Amino acid sequence: MKIKDILKSKSKELVNIASENTTKLFDYPKIKSKQLKDIINLKIREKAIIATKARLIENSKNINDFSDEDLEIIIADEERKIVDDLKTKSLVVALAALGINFFV
């Protein structure tokens, strides 16, 4: 190979490496954001399962009395309650930070 060809191939390799690193750099926040969402959803799921167990104990029921689909519906309902509660608390905190009374 001639020196020109070697330089061209090496420069193409460098451009490819640089473009890959740039792509990774711009994907990093997206990846971290997805990981954070997954962690939050997992924590909400854990709290929903605990709330479901407490709900079943209050009603003197056993987990084995329900099918998997029924338990999934109950857990989804508890997850919705937790998310709604978090939204409400976030709104109250934001309004308090602005000095607006929410309960007027």
Q: How far is CA 57 from CA 15, 54, 65, 79, in A?
A: 62, 5, 12, 18
pTM of the model: 0.64
Q: Quick check: 91 and 102 in contact, CB under 8 A? A: yes
Q: How many other β-carbons are positioned within 10 Å of the β-carbon of residue 51?
A: 17
102 has a pLDDT exceeding 70? no
For residue range 33-83, what is the model confidence (pLDDT) as tens digits? 888 899 999 999 999 999 999 999 999 998 888 899 999 999 999 999 999
Q: Considering the chain, what is the average pLDDT of its residues? A: 83
Give the domain ranges of the chain: 3-98
